[in-house]
Amino acid sequence: MPQPRRTQVSLEDTPFYHCCSRVVRRAYLCGEDLFSGKNYDHRREWVEQQLLKLAQVFAIDVAAYAVMSNHLHLVLCVDIYQANQWSDREVLEHWHQVFKGTELTQQFVKGHVVEAHDVANLKHHIALYRSRLSDISWFMRALNEPIARKANQEDNCTGRFWEGRFKSQALLDEAAVLACMAYVDLNPIRAQLATTPATSDFTSIQRRIRAALAGKQPQTLLPFIGNERDNMPKGLHFDLQDYLQLVDDTGRIIRDDKCGSISSSSASLLSRLNIPPEHWLKLTHHFGQLFKGPVGTLQELTCYCEHLEKRRRHYRHSCQHLMAS
């Protein structure tokens, strides 16, 4: 039975979550339709553009993504501190980029005077929107609904485009985050839709590689900030070049026409996380099959379950895959 989203999200334990949405119709409505012969790859561009827009609106960063022919993978990082630091006006300005809001909130943003009897109502909406702007469910709603409407309009039909619920799982430690990001970034290569990360269209890894060639990092993605240190900025606690090398090495190994291997720099990164190279390949190739719920060590899973008041540590056996080193 599906669990309520509130029983799966614990920001006290981790801000990182892997989310996945799938389309429900028979044809590959975001790729090549084998029944009609039409190509719908332009819809993957719709998804990517909307996703990167929302990353600038919500207090939720995108660490990795892959827009496939019939599903979407995301690694999201909730920044509750950013949402709490926004002023009342900033909250409404962010919200109005995606949703209409109310006449009262529109007037406030335009600088109109708010009557005394409307102040409590205004503050209620601001608090509500502030909460939603750091809510994964609202992020996914703002992503999926516009795509569904455009696709239905294009197909001249009605009904569901995406499954009713999206999958989400907590990533409880650095090893889980790194493995899940690589799994997401390598989706096109595993599906034999691309031969290298650089040619994997509609993925975060392609966007990161293109920016790295210019000596930059994409502004729309959560940046890599290097190893942990004092006064760290917000970002992923890994070196960008190490991650790109690791994904490239892993991609070469999982391809049937390549005889790849883990380089010394990639091995060093895996060693830091206490993951043997042969175990890493299993994690990144079968992440979706190995983990059906939260991902982390048994100790972190125990804390996660306690904070969500779960009596049983579900998925503890699958989490042992991350501890097999």
pLDDT in tens, 21-59: 998 866 566 777 777 778 888 899 999 999 999 999 999
Looking at residue 298, what is its pLDDT?
80
pLDDT at 122 over 70: yes
Residue 206 identity (one-letter amino acid) = Q
Looking at residue 6, what is its pLDDT?
61
Average pLDDT on 78-104 reads 96
Average pLDDT on 63-70 reads 94
DSSP 97-109: TTS---HHHHHHH
Based on its alpha-carbon atoms, the radius of gyration of the chain, rounded to whole angstroms, reads: 21
Q: Are 100 and 90 in contact (CB under 8 A)?
A: no
Looking at residue 295, what is its pLDDT?
87
Candidates 91, 77, 90; CA nearest to 130 is 91
**Burial tier of 302 (Cβ tally within 10 Å: 0-12, 13-18, 19+):** middle
For 280-319, what is each residue's pLDDT tens digit? 888 888 888 888 888 888 888 878 878 877 755 555 666 6
How far lies 211's CA from each of 203, 249, 304, in Å? 13, 19, 36
Spatial distance between the Cα atoms of 8 and 167, rounded to a whole number of angstroms: 10
Spatial distance between the Cα atoms of 254 and 279, rounded to a whole number of angstroms: 13
User: Which pTM was predicted?
Assistant: 0.90
Q: Are 39 and 31 in contact (CB under 8 A)?
A: yes
Domains and CATH numbers, the chain: 1-86+133-171 (3.30.70.1290), 87-132 (no CATH), 173-290 (no CATH)
Helix (H) / strand (E) element for 66: namely strand 60-67
Spatial distance between the Cα atoms of 52 and 218, rounded to a whole number of angstroms: 10
- ∠242-244-249 over CA atoms, to 5°? 95
Structure confidence at residue 202 as a pLDDT band (50, 70, 90):
very high
Spatial distance between the Cα atoms of 233 and 235, rounded to a whole number of angstroms: 6
202: left (phi over 0), alpha (psi -120 to 50) or beta: left
